[in-house]
């Protein structure tokens, strides 16, 4: 550890950034794998089933009591699923547009992973801030990157060159653009209150003045529902809606390329859960306890902050999954109606009211 | 490290030009979707140039608005129209002439403005912090009238588009 001190500041920055990127990437990937497992388990419980409870590696026999328990929880299922995706035949239909067909899964995954870069997932460990890139325009960066994610779905539909995927991708373009507007507008009152676009500043403001969900409940509701539409989750999963479009935009995909679409969807869920925690639930802070509300002074506190952040994020992931298995799918016109005629006017009204209140109180 | 940023500038500028060229004249494909995708790449590399100027807000908005929204709608329209005939179309001599002429005119304007501009080295430093606020103040205080006129113009265009599509309103 001593050797690090002799490196130049630039070299230190590069070293720590690379370290953070590596760890965050690993954590997100693991979280994606286990989110799938949680999804299967929760859906099973909701439908009064058991869920994955058989996958057992050979060494499990040497672990008494704990071993069978882990197997029942399905802890090893994600590894088996991942292996299956890698080993299955990767079939490319003859009629597809090859370049786009190959590019689309990658374009779906990359933006979802890039979003995580600006999210402060803890205060600090030692002197190192727990955010990969503390951008001044953090939130705009997120929206910009998220808006690129739609290309993955559009190109998947176009590249597949067949009817159902095409319908799915046409739906997704309209849906994602519509809800992006509502989502973008819903967070403007937050900027008006915090006077900053930096996510760390927004967390600091919430630590001092109370969580944003209490001040902007309407903005939170709009953001939450728009997040469902942006991640293509039920009740808004019209781009894939399996009962009418087979699988929508990923009908023609198989093996790892198919898995990448799922990876992208879950990474997007994680990214939007992290955004909601940061914007509305105070990020890594917990109110009423000073030690947890201020930047960490010791290594242990830093780790607790990261734990708090992950606990809040896990809560939103469970909400995502829970809603999926409780609600039926919207009809397409209902979806558009909700987006354009309910949320956008509501978000606009919210902006005007917030701006009025802030300007009245400041004078 | 000035050399490193210089290197990045040339790389991004080169990429912008290359992608821009491939947007209008792609030797491998005449598909409008490919052109649109290269335009997206052009826009993203231009956002990279903005980042090099420390104009993070402009870079983010560039990606958010142009790459993320406008071009998606473009793709939407192109895919719905399914311009198969356009893929086989040969070069229209008049179109090439007019296009070349307007490209020359724009290039001339750009060169003239570069030659006439007095270099201001402090600008980048001033923009580096709080540039979103500075930009907002500029737009809503000193340039409020042109800004409002522009938004009304956009509204007019929108109303016009709706009027054209609604046949029974005419």
User: What integer pLDDT is reported at residue B91 of this predicted model?
Assistant: 67
Q: Does B76 touch chain A (CB under 8 A)?
A: yes
Residue A191: band (very low, low, confident or very high) from pLDDT cuts 50, 70, 90: confident
Minimal Cα distance from A179: which residue of B? B69
Residues B136-164 have a mean pLDDT of 88
Contact, A191 vs A138, CB < 8 A?
no
Indicate yes or no: CB of B132 within 8 angstroms of CB of A197.
yes
User: Is the per-residue pLDDT at A99 higher than 60?
Assistant: yes
Residue B107: band (very low, low, confident or very high) from pLDDT cuts 50, 70, 90: very high
Residues A56-65 have a mean pLDDT of 76
User: Is the per-residue pLDDT at A187 higher than 80?
Assistant: yes
- Find which of A8, A11, A133, A137 to mutate to test the B interface (most B CBs within 10 Å of its CB): A137
Indicate yes or no: CB of A136 within 8 angstroms of CB of B73.
no
> Cα-flanking dihedrals φ and ψ of residue A129, to 5°?
-70, 140
Q: Does B22 touch chain A (CB under 8 A)?
A: no
User: What integer pLDDT is reported at residue B155 of this predicted model?
Assistant: 93
Question: For the ranges A285-299, A347-361, B120-134, which has the lowest average pLDDT?
Answer: B120-134
| Residue range A248-265, pLDDT digits in tens | 788 888 888 888 888 888
The C-alpha angle with vertex A111 and arms to A106 and A113, in degrees rounded to 5, equals 95
Q: Does B40 touch chain A (CB under 8 A)?
A: yes
Token readout for B135 is 């930009």
Indicate yes or no: CB of A136 within 8 angstroms of CB of B56.
yes
Residues A67-94 have a mean pLDDT of 83
Residue B102: band (very low, low, confident or very high) from pLDDT cuts 50, 70, 90: very high
Chain B partners within 8 Å of A180 (Cβ) = 68-69
User: Is the per-residue pLDDT at B104 higher than 90?
Assistant: yes
- Find which of B37, B58, B84, B158 to mutate to test the A interface (most A CBs within 10 Å of its CB): B37
Residues A321-350 have a mean pLDDT of 88
Contact, A293 vs A138, CB < 8 A?
no
Contact, A238 vs A171, CB < 8 A?
yes
Contact, A169 vs A158, CB < 8 A?
yes
| Residue range A110-127, pLDDT digits in tens | 888 888 888 888 777 767
The C-alpha angle with vertex B118 and arms to B114 and B122, in degrees rounded to 5, equals 115
Residue A110: other Cβ atoms inside 10 A: 17
What count of residues does chain B have? Answer: 170
Q: How many CB pairs under 8 A join A and B?
A: 72
The shortest C-alpha distance from B20 to chain A (Å) reads: 19
Report for A184-188, B124-128, B135-139, B163-167: range of highest mean pLDDT: A184-188
User: What integer pLDDT is reported at residue A156 of this predicted model?
Assistant: 86
| Residue range B52-61, pLDDT digits in tens | 887 788 888 8
- Check: complex ipTM more than 0.85: no
Q: Does B28 touch chain A (CB under 8 A)?
A: no
Residue A123: closest CA among A301, A290, A274, A279: A301
> Cα-flanking dihedrals φ and ψ of residue A62, to 5°?
-85, -10
> Of A137, A158, A180, which has the smallest distance from its Cβ to B33's Cβ?
A158
> Of B56, B68, B130, which has the smallest distance from its Cβ to A147's Cβ?
B68
Indicate yes or no: CB of B75 within 8 angstroms of CB of A173.
yes
Q: Does B58 touch chain A (CB under 8 A)?
A: no
Indicate yes or no: CB of A180 within 8 angstroms of CB of B69.
yes
The shortest C-alpha distance from A147 to chain B (Å) reads: 5
Chain A partners within 8 Å of B131 (Cβ) = 136
Residue B62: closest CA among B36, B39, B35, B32: B39
Residues B100-127 have a mean pLDDT of 78
Chain B partners within 8 Å of A146 (Cβ) = 68
User: Is the per-residue pLDDT at A165 higher than 80?
Assistant: yes
Indicate yes or no: CB of A173 within 8 angstroms of CB of B76.
yes
> Of B63, B73, B130, which has the smallest distance from its Cβ to A177's Cβ?
B73
User: Is the per-residue pLDDT at B80 higher than 90?
Assistant: no
User: What integer pLDDT is reported at residue A15 of this predicted model?
Assistant: 84
Minimal Cα distance from B70: which residue of A? A177
The shortest C-alpha distance from B92 to chain A (Å) reads: 27
| Residue range B17-41, pLDDT digits in tens | 999 888 887 777 777 888 888 899 9
Indicate yes or no: CB of A136 within 8 angstroms of CB of B129.
yes
User: Is the per-residue pLDDT at A3 higher than 70?
Assistant: no
User: Is the per-residue pLDDT at B87 higher than 80?
Assistant: no
Chain B partners within 8 Å of A10 (Cβ) = 1
Residue corresponding to tokens 């952040």: A309
**CA neighbours closer than 13 Å in the CB half-sphere of residue A304:** 14
Indicate yes or no: CB of A151 within 8 angstroms of CB of B72.
yes
Instruction: Please report which helix (H) or strand (E) contains residue A205, including its range.
Output: helix A199-209
Residue A87: band (very low, low, confident or very high) from pLDDT cuts 50, 70, 90: confident
| Residue range A199-239, pLDDT digits in tens | 888 888 888 888 888 888 888 999 999 988 888 887 888 77
CA distances B78 to A10, A179, A192, A197, Å, are: 46, 21, 38, 35
Chain A partners within 8 Å of B129 (Cβ) = 136
Please tell me the distance from the alpha carbon of residue B67 to that of residue A153, in angstroms, as a whole number: 15
For chain B, what is the mean pLDDT?
A: 81
């Amino acid at each position: 550890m001593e050797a690090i001190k002799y490196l130049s500041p630039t070299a230190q920055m590069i070293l720590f950034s690379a370290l953070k990127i590596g760890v965050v990437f690993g954590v997100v990937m693991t979280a994606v794998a286990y989110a799938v497992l949680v999804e299967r388990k929760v859906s099973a419980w909701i439908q009064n089933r058991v869920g994955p409870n058989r996958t057992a590696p050979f060494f499990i026999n040497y672990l008494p009591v704990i071993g069978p328990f882990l197997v029942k929880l399905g802890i090893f299922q994600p590894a088996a699923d991942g292996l299956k995706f890698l080993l299955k035949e990767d079939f490319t239909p003859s009629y597809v547009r090859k370049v786009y067909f190959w590019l689309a899964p990658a374009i779906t995954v990359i933006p979802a992973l890039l979003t995580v870069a600006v999210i402060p997932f803890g205060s600090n460990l030692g002197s190192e801030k727990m955010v990969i890139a503390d951008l001044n325009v953090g939130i705009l960066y997120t929206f910009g990157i998220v808006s690129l994610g739609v290309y993955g779905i559009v190109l998947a539909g176009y590249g597949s060159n067949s009817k159902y995927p095409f319908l799915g991708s046409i739906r997704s373009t309209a849906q994602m653009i519509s809800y992006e507007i509502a989502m973008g507008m819903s967070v403007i009152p937050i900027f008006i209150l915090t006077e900053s676009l930096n996510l760390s500043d927004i967390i600091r403001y919430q630590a001092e003045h109370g969580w944003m969900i209490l001040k902007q409940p309407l903005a939170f509701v709009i953001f939450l529902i728009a997040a469902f539409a942006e991640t293509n989750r039920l009740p808004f999963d019209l781009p894939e809606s399996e009962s009418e479009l087979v699988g929508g935009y990923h009908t023609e995909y198989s093996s790892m390329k198919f898995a990448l679409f799922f990876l992208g969807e879950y990474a997007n869920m994680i990214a939007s859960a992290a955004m909601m925690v940061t914007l509305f639930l105070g990020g890594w802070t917990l109110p009423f306890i000073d030690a947890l509300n201020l930047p960490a002074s010791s290594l242990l506190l830093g780790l607790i902050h990261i734990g708090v952040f992950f606990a809040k994020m896990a809560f939103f992931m469970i909400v995502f999954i829970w809603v999926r298995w409780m609600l039926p799918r919207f009809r397409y016109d209902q979806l558009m109606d909700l987006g354009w005629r309910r949320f956008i006017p509501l978000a606009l009204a919210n902006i005007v009211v917030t701006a009025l209140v802030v300007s009245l109180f400041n004078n | 490290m000035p050399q490193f940023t210089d290197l990045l500038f040339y790389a991004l500028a080169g990429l912008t030009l290359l992608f821009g060229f491939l947007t209008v004249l792609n030797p491998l494909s005449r598909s409008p979707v490919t052109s649109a995708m290269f335009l997206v790449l052009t826009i993203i590399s231009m956002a990279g140039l903005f980042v090099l100027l420390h104009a993070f807000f402009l870079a983010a908005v560039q990606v958010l608005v142009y790459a993320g929204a406008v071009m998606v709608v473009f793709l939407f329209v192109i895919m719905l129209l399914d311009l198969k005939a356009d893929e086989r179309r040969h070069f229209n001599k008049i179109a090439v002439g007019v296009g070349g002429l307007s490209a020359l005119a724009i290039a001339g304007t750009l060169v003239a403005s570069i030659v006439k501009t007095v270099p201001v080295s402090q600008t980048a430093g001033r923009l580096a912090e709080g540039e979103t606020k500075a930009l907002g103040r500029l737009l809503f205080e000193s340039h409020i009238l042109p800004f409002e006129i522009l938004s009304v113009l956009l509204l007019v265009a929108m109303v016009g588009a709706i009027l054209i599509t609604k046949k029974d309103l005419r």
